[in-house]
A and B are shown apart, each in its own frame.
Chain A
Amino acid sequence: MNALSLTHLGISYGSRRVLNDISFDIPSGQVVGLLGRNGTGKTTLLRSLFGLIPIDAGTVSVLGRDPAREAPAMRLTVGFMSENCHLYRWMTGPQLGAFLAPFYPAWNAQAFADDCRRLELPADQPVGRMSKGTQRKLMLALTLAPAPELLLLDEPLAGLDPVARDQIRDTIIGTLADRGTTILLSSQEVDEIAPICDRVLILGSSRLLLDAGRDELAQRIRRVFVTLENPVGAVPAHPNILSAAIMGSQLELVLREFSDEALQALLANYKVRDVRTEGLSLREIFIACAGRKEVAS
């Protein structure tokens, strides 16, 4: 069963199209990393999935519900942790827990207390006096307390010190192990989230540029070093070339949907002396996809 299902999603801010024709499904229990450069619509996408902003086109199903019309019921089983969402600064952690508990029938006060203890959250300090990392950890504990089936995490690691990052990442992984929760998290910290993601979505230019599993990435996107007989002046034009560089008779290409057959077809018009391929890290893939225009130009 799919925890999340998007079909031709479109969102605009006024006349500006922020997201266009986004379609993907996320099966239950999967951890999905949502990557993209600044302003590509990651936060907008997560907010729309949580029913905070309306969508203009397409359909969205979150745990079988339409967030536009069934947001209150949906939010009982979906947790959302936003980078730009602030807690009440005059409340302490326990006060916030007491405030939120009546809203969630599945609120687990013990789990909340355990998370607070594990994340080393001060019980008597108002939010306004907490550091940014502590606030983020408190928000994570509050998000996890109702035992959500789906977690939407918007930049959960941004601006945190390494210790706090580890604590939050460990909590997410622990949550995964214990509950099998579906997680969609957006982040710029590509290397940090790479180990915990089963799958990666890359947004760019209001579209979904890449949707691939972690293991699948190494096979589908590869870097190709080609040595030609003669120097060439231009890179062969093909939609699967994410980036390219020319150094005399040396070509360095990053190809998606890589296969030997596709590579042979691409180089059919060239006299090839040698071909060598290698896999890419998630960071390199992100840069190749998200920075494609700049590299190509």
Chain B
Amino acid sequence: MNAILWKEYLEHRLHFVLIVAMGAVSALALAWFRQLDQDTLTTLLFLFEAPLFLLLLSTHVVSNEVETGSFPFLIGLPRSRTAIWAAKLVFLVLFAAAVYGAYLVIALLAGYLPSPFRLFPSEYDMRLISPAFLLAGFPAAIIACGFAASMLPTGFPSLLGMAFLCAVALCIWSGAHLYLNFALVICLLSVSGLGVSWLVFKRCGLMDGWNRLGWAALGWGIALSCSLGIWAGFDALAERFPNQTSDYTWHFQTSADGKYLALVRESPSTAWDPIQNKQASRLILFDTTTGRQTQVGNRQISFSLLSPSGPKLYRETLYRWPGLFTETSRLIELDLETGREAIIDTDATPEHTASDGTLLYSRQIRLPNGKGVTEFCVRTPQGTQKVLHAMLDTRGNGIWFPDAGALMLEPLGSPIGVPLLVSIADGTTSPLRIPALERDARLSFLGLEDFPGFAVAQISVGSPSHQFTWTFDADGNATEAAWLPPDTVIKSRIDAHRALVLIPEADPDSPSDPLLASNRWKPCIADFQAATLSDVPGWSSPLDRTWGASASRDGKLLCGMVFENGQNVLKTVELATGREVSTVPRSSWQDEVHPLGPSAFLLRGGSAFSRFDPAERRITPIN
């Protein structure tokens, strides 16, 4: 092998000198034009020049021998074909190492500090490139595929070289769509390339016939099949053995009619997963009536939103390009009836859907100067989109008052800015006028329920914080609902001006203990029009504790988890009369209760969800 390596060195030493000289000239040219910064230089050297030269060399390392007629002389040596093949491959690896080493020296001399760098630093695309991708994965795939191409008849190596570059682009494109596990892609591509090159080298005699094409096609077919098989195997293992103990639901939502339950579940298990190489976040859509479940999109769902007006599901899906650190996202609309998907925007997050089907979403735009802009947009069911408001250099939370025709923005930052109210009709902006809120007070939380004509927001102030309730009209005038105790939780809307709220109660045994107090809640009905708070009929003493409680969407029922007569029960009463509808014993005391459709409820105990029909006293597991 040493003799062949020495021969290759003698043959290609001038190429090496030329390649290094090209790198040095590039660095000098960048310096001459005052463009010599770390990102530009490393992009040029490691992402363009080195891979290009390496591809040129690897695609000709065997084909050149065939063309010049020295191939029979080479394989006539008293060594096995595999040994000669391996010698050529080792030379390519050593040559690549020498080129990358030389380029690293040039980069270091020019001031490069080994760290991830940005691709296209002067453009909008600011994605970071990982050094492992550049210095190991990319060259490995180039060598393997270029080497396989070099086994083909004259003309094909160059053609295949270009095809390989297209394949890399395709890989990047598919990676962006599938969130591919890049390490596995590179590994399979490299092994496939080496396997094909070995097969053709071993089987094709003097490399003087067109049967090389047939063997190469056969090899790539086998490699592709095996790769897909391995891929499917890893995929099956990833699905079969997720980390169950850490798999938890961090976001869920039900459709207005109660038919669908959308869960976003996150699993930190990445051991087997061929698609993604970070925590998987799956969006699983359940049909609560049939129990049928479907995984929607890829495994990088960051947020989902069901439209209350129709069978639409909005999701934010993350993508990452192979070898890049940063990721992008797409906002996708799924029609649950037809299964059709449409990309609405990029780097966008669904925020809220109105009863008429209008979607509010925010999107992030990175400017060349490094600053960011958050835009809030609405999209009507007819497909028209409009930017409502943009906030520079910060990302804020947007809260919608769709029925009030306004958008409330809570800019984040330090110090936190004054909340804004944005008119949906004309986009005009006005700060929220909250008289009792001191200017230097820190807002840490905003929550709301929206009502026709006005909105209710809850604002946490102070440290330790306490939550106060305010109402706002469409002009941004705020009025504190002082008749509601601090830290009241608004659970769900009952009708046009009433809501079910949970009032914190002090523990009779230790009334000053805030921790105990926070565990005791009393459901009440808050009337924002009359500014009154009333008890729920039939929901009082001797009830000892209430954990989860919710009103049904039709506003007729109240269902809650209570501790009664020494046991946990799921109790449902009529809100208007207090008549008990049902009382169902439960072994678990951790159930949360949420509305599901007009008159049913969703029970959640950890990651387990069930449908509860109070009239029939039936609890049906969903997942």
List residues of chain A with CB under 8 Å of any chain B CB: 13-14, 47, 50, 52-54, 71-76, 80, 82, 84-91, 95, 99-100, 102-104
A residues near B79, Cβ cutoff 8 Å? 72, 103
User: Per a CB cutoff under 8 Å, which of B3, B206, B209 touches A52?
Assistant: B206
The answer to whether B205 touches A50 (Cβ under 8 A) is: no
Contact string against A for B residues 197-219, beta-carbon threshold 8 Å, 1 for contact and 0 otherwise: 00000000110010100000000
B residues near A82, Cβ cutoff 8 Å? 72, 76
The answer to whether B6 touches A86 (Cβ under 8 A) is: no
List B residues 1-34 near A (Cβ within 8 Å): 2-3, 6-7, 10-11
Asked if B534 CB lies within 8 Å of chain A CBs, one says no
The answer to whether B70 touches A88 (Cβ under 8 A) is: yes
Contact string against A for B residues 172-213, beta-carbon threshold 8 Å, 1 for contact and 0 otherwise: 000000000000000000000000000000000110010100
The answer to whether A88 touches B72 (Cβ under 8 A) is: no
Asked if B621 CB lies within 8 Å of chain A CBs, one says no
The answer to whether B76 touches A75 (Cβ under 8 A) is: yes
User: Per a CB cutoff under 8 Å, which of A13, A91, A104 touches B78?
Assistant: A104
What is the CA–CA distance of A89 and B7 in the complex, to the nearest angstrom? Answer: 12
The answer to whether A52 touches B70 (Cβ under 8 A) is: no
The contact sample of 9 A-B pairs, CB cut-off 8 A, is A52-B76, A54-B205, A71-B78, A74-B78, A91-B10, A99-B7, A100-B77, A102-B3, A103-B3
Contact (A76, B78) CB under 8 Å given A14-B211, A102-B2, A102-B3: yes
Residue of B nearest to A78 (CB): B78
- Interface majority SS on A: helix, strand, loop or mixed? loop
Contact string against A for B residues 372-386, beta-carbon threshold 8 Å, 1 for contact and 0 otherwise: 000000000000000
What is the CA–CA distance of A262 and B520 in the complex, to the nearest angstrom? Answer: 125
List residues of chain B with CB under 8 Å of any chain A CB: 2-3, 6-7, 10-11, 68-70, 72-73, 75-80, 83, 205-206, 209, 211
What is the CA–CA distance of A86 and B69 in the complex, to the nearest angstrom? Answer: 5
The answer to whether B206 touches A73 (Cβ under 8 A) is: no
The answer to whether A85 touches B211 (Cβ under 8 A) is: no
User: Per a CB cutoff under 8 Å, which of A13, A80, A90 touches B76?
Assistant: A80
Contact (A71, B205) CB under 8 Å given A52-B75, A86-B69, A88-B7: no
10 closest residue pairs by CB, A with B: A86-B69, A75-B78, A85-B72, A53-B205, A102-B3, A76-B78, A72-B78, A85-B73, A72-B80, A86-B70
The answer to whether A89 touches B73 (Cβ under 8 A) is: no
What is the CA–CA distance of A104 and B3 in the complex, to the nearest angstrom? Answer: 11
What is the CA–CA distance of A76 and B79 in the complex, to the nearest angstrom? Answer: 9
B residues near A102, Cβ cutoff 8 Å? 2-3
B residues near A87, Cβ cutoff 8 Å? 70, 73
The answer to whether A73 touches B73 (Cβ under 8 A) is: no
What is the CA–CA distance of A50 and B78 in the complex, to the nearest angstrom? Answer: 10
A residues near B70, Cβ cutoff 8 Å? 85-89
Contact (A103, B78) CB under 8 Å given A13-B209, A52-B72, A84-B69: yes
What is the CA–CA distance of A202 and B73 in the complex, to the nearest angstrom? Answer: 27
Contact (A47, B206) CB under 8 Å given A52-B72, A72-B80, A84-B72: yes
What is the CA–CA distance of A111 and B72 in the complex, to the nearest angstrom? Answer: 24
A residues near B206, Cβ cutoff 8 Å? 47, 52-53
CB distance from B8 to the nearest CB of A (A): 11
The answer to whether B73 touches A75 (Cβ under 8 A) is: no
A residues near B3, Cβ cutoff 8 Å? 99-100, 102-103
What is the CA–CA distance of A54 and B77 in the complex, to the nearest angstrom? Answer: 16
What is the CA–CA distance of A85 and B7 in the complex, to the nearest angstrom? Answer: 17
Residue of A nearest to B205 (CB): A53
What is the CA–CA distance of A75 and B209 in the complex, to the nearest angstrom? Answer: 24
A residues near B211, Cβ cutoff 8 Å? 14
Given contacts A72-B79, A85-B69, 11 further A-B contacts (CB under 8 A): A52-B205, A54-B205, A73-B78, A84-B72, A85-B70, A85-B76, A88-B11, A99-B7, A100-B3, A103-B77, A104-B78
Residue of A nearest to B208 (CB): A84
CB distance from A83 to the nearest CB of B (A): 10
The answer to whether A89 touches B68 (Cβ under 8 A) is: yes
What is the CA–CA distance of A104 and B77 in the complex, to the nearest angstrom? Answer: 9
Residue of A nearest to B3 (CB): A102
Question: Which of B2, B6, B205, B211 neighbours the largest number of chain A CB atoms within 10 Å of its CB?
Answer: B205
B residues near A84, Cβ cutoff 8 Å? 69, 72
What is the CA–CA distance of A99 and B10 in the complex, to the nearest angstrom? Answer: 11
Residue of A nearest to B81 (CB): A71
The answer to whether B72 touches A71 (Cβ under 8 A) is: no
